[in-house]
Structure 1
Amino acid sequence: MSFAEPDVSGGRPHLRVGPRTAAAAACLVLGLGLIGGAATGSWLTGGGAADSPENAFGTARSLWHNVPVDELFPPTVQGTGAGPGGADRVWTRIAVAPDSGCAGAFDPLLSKALAPVGCQRLLRATYTDATQSYVTTVGLLFAKGDPAAMSALAARVRDEHLDQRADLMPRPYAAAGTAAAEFGDRQRASWTLKVLTDAPVVAYSVSGWADGRTVDTPQPAADAVRSGATTAPAQAGLGNEAQGLADRIERRLRTTVGTATEQPS
C-alpha cells in the first residue's frame, strides 16, 4: 500500500489516496464486515456448540422427564419391512410402566454388568403385533455415566458378547388385563441389548408369545433373524419382533435428541 504526496494547494495539508489504496481499504472494510456479521450470526443462533456431541449427550440425559411418553413410546409403531422376509409389521402399545429405577428389570448378571454406568431412570413399554400373537417389551435405561463410561461399557458388551448370553437378559414388563399378562421370565424368546455411546442410554427389547408358553432356549435377535435360523423363536419371527421394535424406538430417541438440541434460527 502507498500514499500520494501531501497536497497543500488548498491551504490545509491533506493526503490524497490513490486508487490502489482506496481499493485495499474497501476490501479491508468489507472483510471486517463479513467477519463481524458471521460472528453476530453465530451468537444469535447459538453457534455450533448447540450441535456438539457433548451438548447432545447432556440433552439426552434429561429426556426421561422432559419428553411425553407418546414421543418416546408412541401408541402405534410402523415396522415397514421389519418382519421375516421383509414383511411389514405394526405394533400397538398395550402397557407403559411407571418410570422407575432399574431394580428387578434385568437378570442379576446383567444388572451387575450395567452397574458401571449407573441407572438414573428406566422407561419401559410393552407392545403387541397386529394379530396379538406376540408381545415385546422395549426399554430405555437412562444412565448416569459420562461418554467415556458409556464407550467402555459398549466395548465390553461387544468384545465379550454380553448381548448374546441367555443369562444376561432384560426382563419383560407384564400388565394385568393385557395380552402381556402372562409375559414373564420363562416366556422370553428373543432379545436385543445396545449400549449407546452418543447418549447415556441403554436400549433393549425382549419378545415372547402372547399365550404364555414357556421357552426353553431363548435366542438373541441378531441370531434369530439370520437366514436359515431354525429355532422356534426364529421360525416364529420373534427375533424380528424384538429387533424391529427396538430399532424404531432407538430412531425415535435419536430424532427427539436432535430436535431438542436444535436452536431457533
Structure 2
Amino acid sequence: MTFGEPEGYDERLRARPLARGARLHPRAAAAAACLVLGLGLIGGAATGSWLTGDGGGTARTGFGAARTLWHSVPVDQLFPPTVRGTGAGPGGADRTWTRIAVAPDSGCAGAFDPPLRKALAPVGCRRLLRATYTDATQSYVTTVGLLFTGADPAAMSALAARFRDEHLDRRTDLLPRPYAAAGTAAARFGDRQRATWTLSVLPDAPVVAYTVSGWADGRTVDAPLPAADATRSGATSAPAQAGLGNEAQGLADRVERRLRQTVDPATETPS
C-alpha cells in the first residue's frame, strides 16, 4: 500500500512553498501531522525498550551489545575504582565503596554453590567478571559479579521467570561465593563469612548479576539473609542491624545501572 505525498511537504517532510493561491487540503494536513507524530512516538518507544525489556529493535541491539562487554570495555567502566551511593545506606545515609581487588576474567568453576551452578546451567557461562569492594571504614566487604551467558533472549527470560516464580534468589543453598584476595581487607572473606546477597537474572541482557557481602574481620554467619530481608524495616538480625543488606543492594543497583549505561548511554543517567 502506498500513500500520495501530501501537498506542501517534500520527501523529508519539510515544508515547501505552495503554488500561489493553492491551499493545503485538510485531509492532507492531518495525514502529514499524524505521520510526524507517529515517527516521534516510534523513536521514543525504541529509546526505552532496552530498559523495559520490550521486544523492539533497540532491545535486540542492546542484548547483542551486552554479550561482548566482558572483553570490549575496560574493567574500570564496569567496576569503577570508587562507587558512590547517595542515600544507599541505612536510613538513607550516603555510602562510598572502594574497589580492593579484581579477579582475572574466568569461567564459572568454583564461583557458585553447586545447586546455584546447576540452576544457572541452562544459560551457560561464557565469562565471569568479579571485583571486591570495601566500605569507607573497611568494616565490610562485598564481591560483585557479572556472569556473561551464552543464552538468547528467550532463554534469559525463561530463567528470570523461574528464579522469580520459584524464589530461587532467596534460597540459602543457592549463594554466589566471594572473591577473597590475599593482602586486602577481603583476605578472610570466605563461604562461612557470607552474610547477605543479591542475585538478578537480567531478561534483557545475557547477564546474571550478583553481590555477596560480609564482615571484613572474618566473623562467621550461621544464617545468611537475602538483601531484601536484611534491609526490611524492623529486621533485627546482626547482618540487618549492621547494614550489610544495604551494602549488597546498593552496590548491586549501581553496577547493574552502569552495565545498562555502558550498553546504551542515552537511556541512563550516572549514579
Verify same fold: TM over 0.5: yes
State the number of aligned residues. Answer: 226
Task: Find the counterpart in structure 1 of residue 61 from structure 2.
Answer: 55
CA contact (8 A) 1:59 1:260 kept: no
* Equivalent position of 1:200 in the other structure: 206
Q: In the alignment, which residue of structure 2 is the partner of 1:232?
A: 238
SS in 1 for 2:186: coil
- TM-score, length basis structure 2: 0.79
Secondary structure, counterpart of 1:255 in structure 2:
helix
The 1-side partners of 2:61 and 2:181 are apart by 36
Change (3 A) 1:260 1:100: farther
Cα distance in 2 between the residues matched to 1:33 and 1:216: 67
Cα offset, 1:56, TM superposition: 0.6
Q: Distance in 2 between matches of 1:53 and 1:160?
A: 26
The separation in 1 between residues aligned to 2:60 and 2:80, in whole angstroms, is 27
Q: Does 1:179 align with 2:158?
A: no
1:138 pairs with one of 140, 144, 150? 144
In the alignment, residue 9 of structure 2 is paired with which amino acid? L
Give the Cα separation in 2 of the matches to 1:243 and 1:32: 51
* Distance (Å, rounded) in 1 between the aligned partners of 2:111 and 2:69: 20
Q: Distance in 2 between matches of 1:149 and 1:118?
A: 10
Deviation at 1:32, TM superposition (A): 3.3
Partner of 1:119: 125
Corresponding position of 2:156? 150
After superposition, the Cα gap between the structure-2 partners of 1:26 and 1:89, relative to the gap in structure 1 and judged at 3 Å, is closer
1:32 has 2:11 as partner: yes
Once the two structures are TM-superposed, the CA of residue 34 in structure 1 deviates from its matched residue by: 2.9
TM-score (ref. length: structure 1):
0.81
List aligned pairs for 1:3-152, cutoff 5 A. Answer: 28=7, 30-34=9-13, 52-152=58-158
Tell me, in whole angstroms, the C-alpha distance in 2 between the residues paired with 1:135 and 1:70: 18
Say which SS state the counterpart of residue 13 (structure 2) adopts: helix
CA distance in 1, matches of 2:92, 2:176: 26
CA-to-aligned-CA distance 1:175-200 (integer Å, 9 cap, x gap): 00000000000000000000001110
In the TM superposition, residue 257 of structure 1 has moved relative to its aligned partner by: 0.6
Provide Cα deviations, 1:111-150, integer angstroms capped at 9, x if missing partner: 0000001011000000000000000000000011111100
Q: How big is the shift at 1:27?
A: 5.2
1:154-187 Cα distance to aligned partner (Å, 9 max, x none): 0110111111011000000000000000000000
Specify every segment of 5 or more residues in structure 1 that has no aligned partner in the other structure, as ranges: 1-24, 39-47
Q: Contact conserved, 1:224 with 1:233, CA < 8 A, in 2?
A: yes
Seen in structure 2, the aligned counterparts of structure 1 residues 27 and 153 have a Cα distance that, compared at 3 Å, is closer
Shift of 1:52: 1.4
**What do the CA deviations read for 1:199-240 (whole angstroms, capped 9, x no partner)?**
100000000000001101110101000000011110110011
Query: 1:254 matched to which residue of 2?
Result: 260
Find the aligned partners of 1:71 and 1:88 in 2 and give their Cα distance. 22
Question: Which residue identity is paired with 1:32?
Answer: E
Cα distance in 2 for residues equivalent to 1:197 and 1:159: 14
- Distance in 1, matches of 2:266 and 2:130, equals 21
SS in 1 for 2:189: coil
1:220 corresponds to which of 226, 237, 240: 226
Q: Secondary structure at the residue paired with 1:32?
A: coil
> Alpha carbons of 1:60 and 1:187: their partners in 2 closer, same or farther (altered >3 Å)?
same
